[in-house]
């Protein structure tokens, strides 16, 4: 449906909400129920809320607020690597995770007004979003 801008240290990328919600939900799952650090617990809860569908057009992973140092950045990058290695992961989620990784590594140079030629696209309806809307299916 709508798109959100993911921002970190002044740079960022636009993503269709469904792909971003999918990646954030996977990352929250990967953090697990009992992370060993408190900030990860808060990050997990925040990302779960962000992937709920209630934030259309303004999904904000709060990277600047949570990923405040290199150690935390490496932790999130490791989470991204974990989910990217899942063989069942959709191409759209894989590419979105790659954009997120590039942003954290400082390799993304686009901002909100940049041309949108990098945006991940794919056929709709997106299965993950559809299953979330109709869990009985």
Partner 1 sequence: MNLHRLSRAVISQFCFAAILLIAAFLNVQAQTWTQYDQGTPPQHAGGVSPLGSYLSTDLGTINLSNGSLNLSLPMGTAGGRGFSIPISLNYSSKVWSVAHDTAYWPPPHDMDVDMAYARYAAGDTYEDIFFRVAPGWVVGGMPLLKRQNVGITPCPGLYNAVYVLEKLTVVLPDKGEIELRDDYSDGAPFYTNCSVSEYRGQRWHATDGSGIVFMSDVDNGVALGSLAGTLITGDGMRYRFTTMGVPAAYASKNWGNGAKFLDSIVHHVNKSVDHVAIDLTGASKSQIKTIQKFVSGLAEEQKKKIIYVQ
* Binding residues vs partner 1 (CB under 8 A): 1-5, 7, 12, 14, 16, 18, 49, 52-58, 60, 62, 111-113, 115-116, 124-126, 133-134
Nearest of 40, 65, 50 to residue 19 by alpha carbon: 50
Question: Using CA of residue 114, residue 99, residue 9, residue 41, what is the dihedral sign?
Answer: positive
Closest CB 85 distance from partner 1, rounded Å: 28
Closest CB 46 distance from partner 1, rounded Å: 11
Question: Using CA of residue 90, residue 93, residue 95, residue 98, what is the dihedral sign?
Answer: negative
SS (H, E, C) 53-66: CCCCCCCCCCHHHH
Q: Which is nearer to partner 1, 13 or 23 (CB)?
A: 13
Cis peptide before 106 (omega within 30 of 0): no
Q: Which is nearer to partner 1, 50 or 75 (CB)?
A: 50
Q: Which is nearer to partner 1, 49 or 78 (CB)?
A: 49
Q: Which is nearer to partner 1, 18 or 83 (CB)?
A: 18
């Amino acid at each position: 449906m709508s798109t959100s801008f993911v921002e970190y240290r002044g740079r960022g990328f636009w993503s269709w909400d469904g792909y971003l919600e999918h990646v954030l939900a996977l990352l929250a799952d990967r953090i697990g129920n009992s992370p060993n650090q408190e900030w990860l617990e808060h990050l997990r809860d925040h990302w779960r809320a962000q992937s709920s569908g209630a934030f259309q057009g303004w999904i904000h992973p709060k990277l600047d607020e949570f990923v405040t140092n290199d150690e935390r950045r490496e932790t999130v990058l490791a989470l991204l690597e974990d989910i990217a290695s899942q063989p069942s992961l959709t191409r759209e989620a894989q590419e979105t995770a790659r954009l997120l990784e590039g942003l954290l590594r400082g390799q993304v140079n686009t901002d909100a007004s940049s041309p949108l030629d990098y945006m991940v696209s794919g056929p709709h309806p997106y299965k993950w979003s559809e299953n979330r809307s109709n869990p009985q299916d």
